[in-house]
Structure 1
Amino acid sequence: MKILITGATGFLGKNVAAQLRNMGYQDIYAYTRESTMEDLEHYTKECEFVFHFAGVNRTTNTEDFKIDNSGLTESLVRLLQTNGNKAPILFSSSIQVNNNSPYAESKRFSEMLLHSHSEINKSSVLIYRLPNLFGKWSKPNYNSVVSTFCYNIARGKPIHIHDEERIVTLNYIDDVVGEFISALNYIKDEKCDYYVVPKTYRISLQKLADKIKEFKRNRETLIMPSLASGFDRALYATYLSYIENDKFSYQLKKQTDERGWLAEFIKSESMGQFFISKTGKGITRGNHWHHTKVEKFLVIKGEAIIKFRQVGIDQNIEYKVIGEKPEVVDVPAGYAHSIENIGEDELITLFWASEIFNPEKTDTYYMEV
């Protein structure tokens, strides 16, 4: 299928084009700000489907709305009709279409043009009225409040909230892309209809800002906020996409002693914490037990003996593990445990504990295995 995307390098267009290519679509006509009207004339002769995303959301010159929004729509339908092309059109409109702004007026006029085109050209048209969108590649201070908050917070810049309790309705870009690409298969008639992306999220501006600030603090506290909800996972993915290119990495704090070193990696209020250690040859770690805290040990380099002894019972249990054969060893509550480097090289171990370490309530009691 030959697919025309207007606004192909914008937020929507770039994401849709990328996923179409992932799915094997090769003939994509990308109409951008650098394209000419001659390009559009050629594309409208050949295309079999149109994603019409081009336009402006914000501008200091209100005439831009007429030129880049309704004006381009007018050119698009005129050329399709001139070329006798009945390709279906999917148009990205806005839930703001009924307000009195110049932007809304341009969207209303575009919708009217597409309604007329559907009747005249006997072409299928889907008009999606979208709320605020968020996700990777969105332009801050332009496309979305989410992108603006993520961009500024990631860089330590202030954000401005005029109404903390104001609720915003959001669509995540991956949900929008999935909905739009499915339209390639289900447009079957010539009716012009309005549609929405079913999966939406609603959140106050203050709660939105608080969530993003928690993501930023993760590097300092190592505490990862809950990602149990689809919205939180989508928002975290969006936030990370706005980190500056030279700031993707960050240092962990190493605790070093005669045994080697240990560093906490990530913590969660609901899932405990991960940490990693390097242990020298012949060195033993542990020799303690817990009432409630449980752990998992995973040796990723070297050889080790992990020993256990149930409190009150004079009998040891041993597990020999090697990094080349990943094997997770559970540490039950009520068992003293230790891990000893028995190899010729350093021992690297990844640990998980069911609770974040609390120095005031360690639940850790010395007992040699």
Structure 2
Amino acid sequence: MTHVAMSGAHGFLGWHTRLALLEQSCQTKPIAVGDGFAENVARQAMSGATRAIHIAGVNRADERDLREANVLFARQFAAALQTATVPPPVVVYANSTQASNGSVYGEAKKRSAEIVSDAAAKIGAEFVDVALPNLFGEHGRPFYNAVTATFCHLLAAGEVPSVENDKELTLLHAQDAADMLIEAVPAGPQLEVRETVSGLLRRLQDIADVYSTGAIPDVGTPFQRDLFNTYRSYTVDSHLPIKLARHADDRGAFFEVLRAHGGSGQTSFSTTVPGISRGDHFHRRKIERFTVLSGSATISLRKVFSDRVFEFKVDGNQPVAVDMPTGWAHNIVNTGDETLFTSFWTNELFDPNEPDTIAEAV
């Protein structure tokens, strides 16, 4: 299997980039920087890589740490590049659009780009400088990565966020940024969205209000879909499974599976014999809901690159819906003695050329 060497692999953007690489059946070899840097280990990870991606950085600290830490990380990454036995042919730097604004952070990012670029030139590698705006996405760190993460965290906890500095933001979903870093899509502003801080909060409040009822909010545009996926990454512990109201009489039983407020959708149905599992994959952008109609099952979820598994025991007599978080491997196993009947809903029509279904065992 081919591999990519990456600093910052365990951070927010690193996690998203590793998901994108898994879709291409490409392994990631992390390069630790800072106090954890070991040149011999970094050199081994770098050697034979198809590309090296430098993501690690500090964006919130005092001025001295902003300057020194970012430059240190770049120098360590550059050292690994220049000592690799078989250096990578492509070197990518996750830069920032703030690199030209004259701020301390911007100057640190600019200097780091120069260090990595010089190292790439010395080994004869192509250097790709990707300037990224404000990123948002699943599992961002509240009060650190972006205001979107902070808003989602507070709304999921039932709190009411406030806007202190209402300005226009240029936003890019982390999965789109990841695709740019691995050159699955061209780098540039074509996937960016402009929204004010107050407008962003209103969108997320609407999403939270609708989802609190068990319904799917309007996901008719990529931006709305990405905001919803971002928001629900903060609700796995608190919101799942979603209880559905079952109405039964002597004629039988009835319950609603889903209410969608906008966008496309596709519903499928399956039968599963006892002891059999379905799934063991994850999605990068697709929204998927499992609802057991009859029978008993266990639905399992695991955030990719982590070990903790969430298990939900479900039964058609007490119906619930379980939404699959993006970036989480999932499956459903028939744990009963009878055939399991399950409804599956996704927010997009299945495209065999772009299935967004990546094999990964729970």
TM-score (norm 2): 0.64
The reply to whether residue 145 of structure 1 matches residue 137 of structure 2 is: no
Pairwise CA distance, 1:86: 5.4
CA, structure 1 residues 25+168, in 2 after alignment: closer, same or farther (shift >3 Å)?
Answer: same
User: Which moves more between the two structures, 110-119 or 247-256?
Assistant: 247-256
Among candidates 86, 92, 95, match of residue 93 of structure 1: 95
Q: Could you tell me which residue of structure 1 aligns to residue 200 of structure 2? A: 208
Q: Secondary structure at the match of 2:65?
A: helix
Measure, in 2, the Cα distance between the counterparts of 1:86 and 1:266. Answer: 48
Contact 1:93–1:128 (CA under 8 A) maintained in structure 2: yes
Measure, in 2, the Cα distance between the counterparts of 1:180 and 1:46. Answer: 18
CA, structure 1 residues 249+261, in 2 after alignment: closer, same or farther (shift >3 Å)?
Answer: same
Per-residue CA distance 1:314-357 (angstroms, 9 max, x = gap)? xxxxxxxxxxxxxxxxxxxxxxxxxxxxxxxxxx9x9xxxxxxx
The reply to whether residue 74 of structure 1 matches residue 75 of structure 2 is: yes
Q: Could you tell me which residue of structure 2 aligns to residue 110 of structure 1? A: 112
AA partner of residue 73 (structure 2): L
Contact 2:211–2:217 (CA under 8 A) maintained in structure 1: no
Q: Could you tell me which residue of structure 1 aligns to residue 309 of structure 2? A: none
Measure, in 2, the Cα distance between the counterparts of 1:152 and 1:47. Answer: 40
Q: Could you tell me which residue of structure 1 aligns to residue 307 of structure 2? A: none
The two structures, once aligned, show a CA RMSD in angstroms of 3.2
Contact 1:219–1:250 (CA under 8 A) maintained in structure 2: no
CA, structure 1 residues 197+87, in 2 after alignment: closer, same or farther (shift >3 Å)?
Answer: farther
Q: Could you tell me which residue of structure 2 aligns to residue 24 of structure 1? A: 25
Contact 1:54–1:68 (CA under 8 A) maintained in structure 2: no
Gaps of 5+ in 2: 264-292, 295-340, 344-362
AA partner of residue 144 (structure 2): Y
Paired residue total: 265
Q: Secondary structure at the match of 2:242?
A: coil
CA, structure 1 residues 265+3, in 2 after alignment: closer, same or farther (shift >3 Å)?
Answer: closer
CA, structure 1 residues 14+269, in 2 after alignment: closer, same or farther (shift >3 Å)?
Answer: closer
CA, structure 1 residues 124+183, in 2 after alignment: closer, same or farther (shift >3 Å)?
Answer: farther
**Map 1:174-185 → 2, pairs under 5 A:** 174-182=175-183
Pairwise CA distance, 1:220: 4.8
Measure, in 1, the Cα distance between the counterparts of 2:54 and 2:249. Answer: 62
- Structure exhibiting the larger radius of gyration computed from Cα positions: 1
Measure, in 2, the Cα distance between the counterparts of 1:232 and 1:152. Answer: 19
Among candidates 235, 242, 250, match of residue 242 of structure 2: 250
**Map 1:182-193 → 2, pairs under 5 A:** 182=183
Gaps of 5+ in 1: 187-194, 272-299, 302-347, 351-369
TM-score (norm 1): 0.63
**Map 1:1-369 → 2, pairs under 5 A:** 1-26=2-27, 28-32=28-32, 35-38=36-39, 39-59=41-61, 61-83=62-84, 85=87, 87-164=89-166, 166-182=167-183, 195-196=187-188, 198-221=190-213, 224-253=216-245, 262-268=254-260
Measure, in 2, the Cα distance between the counterparts of 1:144 and 1:254. Answer: 40
Contact 1:44–1:76 (CA under 8 A) maintained in structure 2: no
Pairwise CA distance, 1:268: 4.8
Measure, in 1, the Cα distance between the counterparts of 2:244 and 2:198. Answer: 30
Contact 2:4–2:50 (CA under 8 A) maintained in structure 1: yes
Measure, in 2, the Cα distance between the counterparts of 1:19 and 1:269. Answer: 29
Pairwise CA distance, 1:219: 4.3
Pairwise CA distance, 1:99: 2.4
Contact 2:52–2:88 (CA under 8 A) maintained in structure 1: no
Measure, in 2, the Cα distance between the counterparts of 1:269 and 1:87. Answer: 47
AA partner of residue 123 (structure 1): A
CA, structure 1 residues 68+253, in 2 after alignment: closer, same or farther (shift >3 Å)?
Answer: same
CA, structure 1 residues 265+183, in 2 after alignment: closer, same or farther (shift >3 Å)?
Answer: closer
Q: Secondary structure at the match of 2:230?
A: helix
Q: Percent identity?
A: 24
